[in-house]
Structure formats: structure tokens, C-alpha cells
Structure 1
Amino acid sequence: MVADLMFDIFSPDALERYVILAPGLLIALVAHEVAHGYVAYLLGDPTAQSQGRLTLNPLKHLDPIGTLAFFFVHFGWAKPVPVNPRYFKDVRFGMLLTAIAGPGVNFILAAVFAIVMHILTTIQFQSGTLWESIIVPFYLICQAGVYVNLILGIFNLIPIPPLDGSNVLAYFLPPRIAQLYMSLSRYGFIVLIGLILIGQYSGYSLIGQVIFPLVRGSAALLGINL
């Protein structure tokens, strides 16, 4: 089982897919975390800045386990940017804005990648030329950029703590209920991993049934077919 998986991961086709996915994925993960930290910084929280997390250097944001998980189960994550809500004048509203920032940036990036794709389709080139060897891979990278940014943005809006959607929902709940709800964060990550693994090995993903139709619909609004 392990040998077959390793062969698949390092097969030529798999390596080509990862090379195409890597740029958009890195940009999506890094921009998502920096957006959280930067909005928190604008609201008075210097924590992310003091820990060197307001940088586009991916090495500051990549989580070793999350990176390996991407290759083995096609799901990964970055190190969450530290946020200290005690610096916010309005804690609940500050957490709302900070939470929205990450997915918001992903949706903006998806739109940027889509615009580049539309521009690339207007370029005329002959098959077998140098232009084709440059434009086609770049087009595929941009297509992957649309895909991963929409997935990351939509996935993080799921209201399961500690995903960003939980902070959005918590803002609209009564304070006492919101506090109890957010205390579930310690278990939320385990629940998410469990749901994803069940989907990987059962062929029926509860999360996928919700996320992928939204991703395809969002891409269609951008004029992109995924």
C-alpha cells in the first residue's frame, strides 16, 4: 500500500500535476495567512508582525505536517497566523474582520488568476512553437490558481471551529453562546480531518458535496470552466 502510494506520488504525471498546482497553492496559503495578520495589525494587534509573519516568504508560513499531508491525502494547511484579540477595541468585530480577510483575499486572487487566463486566451500562437511551451503551462498554472484559491476561500468559510467561518458565525451569536461555540475549536480540526479522510477512502465526501459545486459555480461566474 505504501509502496503503491509512493510510486503514484513520484510518478511523472503526479509530479507534473504538483508543479502546476504548487505556485497557486503557495500564493493562496501565504496570502491567506498574511491577510489575517495584516488586518489584525491594522486593528491594533502587533502579534503577527512581532513574530515575522507579515511576510510573503512561504517558509515562514508552511507547516511541515500540512505540507506532507497535501502530497499524501491531497489536503494541506499552513501555520495559522497568531492573533491576540485583546488588542482590538471591539473584540467580536475585530475577529470578524480578521476572519473574513483570509477568504476574501483568496477570492480576489481567484479573480486575478481568471483575468490572466482570459488574457492568455487572446494570444495567438502556432502549435509546436516556443510560445506554446510558455503560454500553455502558464495557463494551466493560472487555472490551478483559480481552483485552489476558490477551494481555500470556500472551505475556510465552513462554520466549524477553528475555520474562519466559525468566527463569522460567532459574531452573530449571543456572546455566551459564541464563547461556548468557539470552545469547540480544540475538536474541530480532528472532525475536519476525519471528514476528509472518510471522503478520500469511501468515495463519498460530505465536504466535497458542498464545496465543489460552490467552487464550480464561482469559477463559472469568473468565466472559467473547472
Structure 2
Amino acid sequence: MSYRTGGTWIFPTVLIVTAAVGVFLATDARPGGLPTGVLVFLFVLGGWLVTLCLHEFAHALVAYLGGDVSVRARGYLTLNPLRYTDLAYSIVIPLILLAVGGIPLPGGAVLVQPGLLRRPWFASLVSAAGPLVNLLAGAVLAAVAGGMDSPLGAALSFLALLQFVAGILNLLPVPGFDGFGIIEPYLSPAFRERIRPIRPWLPLAVFALLWSVPQLGSALFGAGYRLLVVSGGNPLLAAYGAGAFQFWR
């Protein structure tokens, strides 16, 4: 099996553009007179797409090391966002929901063949790899941004917060999230078959609850802020970055 190579330019391009916007934020430059909020918005969206690709790459890499060579044939080891299933539902819609609602939903998905993995517990490692990337990215970004008193520090701090929130959200033991994938190998076939009809709808239900019940969203972000502080981040900078990110409000 082979895969198309179209789109391999996207990840490095997003990385370069995001880095350039970061330089503008660090130097307080305003190309074309763009407001700081717009630059923060572009930086965070670009950074989020980069970490989304790294999240899915981690799933694929662990699967490959565990014996599922099909992930290489599908192009999952290329960091090409077009390879992570459907472009609209896996990339565009999560980015829109992040921009509008500020909630970092899981985006891409790597199709793994559990039957090719050497041990059943490799499936748990595959599922855990993605959220661990988010938590690690959050810790690194928080540590880097903690000493910055600048728009770039605010953008990095908010991006770090989103990584922590995404990591926590992804670890929920709900079908459609990586947390369920961690425990799924140990569930009975009968139980998995019983929930199969509702599995596609459960992530949407989680998002609807987060959107409609403010207390749930506050609890989720509160946990994210606690991890940010533990990692040496500045919650005030993250809050400022969150406000700048939604510059239209």
C-alpha cells in the first residue's frame, strides 16, 4: 500500500509562518498594521496545528514500533496533516471550534490495526502517546513562556494552557477520546458491541456539555491552569493570551 505525498509542504510551512509570527510578537512588530490580537490568534492557531500533527505522529510512531507497519503505508509518519483522516472533520472543524469556543477538541485520528500489534497492551500505549505529547508540549511551553513579559509570552502561555486542557480532555475514558483507547483492550467484546451504535456521538455530547454547562468548562480549564502553574507557567499571561486570542470580542 502507498500514499499520496501531496501536502507534505503544509507542516513545515505552518511551522515557519508560526515562528515568523512569534518573532513579530517578540519584537512588537506590526506587519501591515495588524493588531497584536490578530498576531496572537495566528500564532496560537499555527502552534495548535503543529502540536496536533505531533500528537497524531506520536500515536503512529508507537503503533509502528509496536508492529503495525500499516501506519507508515498510510503516511501517518510524515507529519502531513492531510493524512490524518478527513481534512474538514479532523483539522478544519476543530480549528474553527478552537477559534470560536476556545475549547481544544481532539482533531485528527490515526487508524491503527490492533491485530498487527505485538501485544494487546501496545494498544494502550498507542492511545496514551498522543495526550502525553500534549502534556509534554504544555510543560515545555509553560517553562519557556513563564519568564516572558511580552505578547509572545502571553501567546505561548495560552498555547501551553490549551495543551494541558487538551491532554486532560483526551484522557477522559469516553469513546472517541484517547482515554477510552487506553482501557478498551481490557473491556469485554460484549460491552464494546453494546456501545458501538453511540460511539460516534459521544465526543459531540462531551463538547455540547462543555459548551452548555459553564461549570464543566470552568473545571476543565481550572485543571489546565493548575498544571500550568505546576510547570512554572504564568496564569496571568495565559489569561491575557486567551483574551488576545479572541480579539474580536
Of residues 115, 122, 126 in structure 2, which corresponds to 1:94? 122
Give the superposition deviation at 1:17: 4.6
For 2:219 and 2:95, locate their aligned partners in 1 and report how far apart those are by CA, in whole Å: 24
Give the superposition deviation at 1:94: 1.1
Indicate the residue corresponding to 1:66 in structure 2. 94
Name the Cα RMSD after superposition.
Answer: 2.8
For 2:100 and 2:51, locate their aligned partners in 1 and report how far apart those are by CA, in whole Å: 19
Provide closer, same or farther for how the CA distance between residues 205 and 167 of structure 1 changes in structure 2, counting only shifts above 3 A: same
Of residues 169, 180, 204 in structure 2, which corresponds to 1:193? 204
Which of 1 and 2 has higher RCO (CA within 8 Å, sep 6+)? 2
The secondary structure found in structure 2 opposite 1:184 is helix
Provide closer, same or farther for how the CA distance between residues 107 and 160 of structure 1 changes in structure 2, counting only shifts above 3 A: same
Provide closer, same or farther for how the CA distance between residues 212 and 44 of structure 1 changes in structure 2, counting only shifts above 3 A: same
Contact 1:53/1:60 (CA < 8 Å) preserved in 2?
yes
Taking structure 2 as the reference length, the TM-score comes to: 0.67
Taking structure 1 as the reference length, the TM-score comes to: 0.73
Provide closer, same or farther for how the CA distance between residues 213 and 116 of structure 1 changes in structure 2, counting only shifts above 3 A: same
Provide closer, same or farther for how the CA distance between residues 66 and 16 of structure 1 changes in structure 2, counting only shifts above 3 A: same
For 2:199 and 2:65, locate their aligned partners in 1 and report how far apart those are by CA, in whole Å: 28
> Do residues 38 (structure 1) and 61 (structure 2) align?
yes
Gaps of 5+ in 1: 1-11, 122-134
> Do residues 204 (structure 1) and 214 (structure 2) align?
yes
Identity level (%) = 26
Provide closer, same or farther for how the CA distance between residues 69 and 115 of structure 1 changes in structure 2, counting only shifts above 3 A: closer
Aligned letter for 1:164? D
The secondary structure found in structure 2 opposite 1:45 is coil
Indicate the residue corresponding to 1:217 in structure 2. 226
For 1:39 and 1:110, locate their aligned partners in 2 and report how far apart those are by CA, in whole Å: 20
Gaps of 5+ in 2: 1-34, 236-249
Aligned letter for 2:220? I
Give the superposition deviation at 1:106: 1.2
Aligned residues: 196
Give the superposition deviation at 1:113: 1.0
Indicate the residue corresponding to 1:80 in structure 2. 109
Aligned letter for 2:56? E
For 2:113 and 2:64, locate their aligned partners in 1 and report how far apart those are by CA, in whole Å: 10
1:23-172 map, 5 Å: 23-61=46-84, 63=90, 64-75=92-103, 76-91=105-120, 93-118=121-146, 120-121=147-148, 136-171=150-185
Cα displacement string for residues 38-89 of structure 1 (whole angstroms, at most 9, x for unaligned residues) = 0000011112211111122334445333333333444444220111111112
Cα displacement string for residues 129-187 of structure 1 (whole angstroms, at most 9, x for unaligned residues) = xxxxxx8233223212211211111110000012111122335x4x42x6624763652
Give the superposition deviation at 1:105: 1.1
Contact 2:176/2:203 (CA < 8 Å) preserved in 1?
no
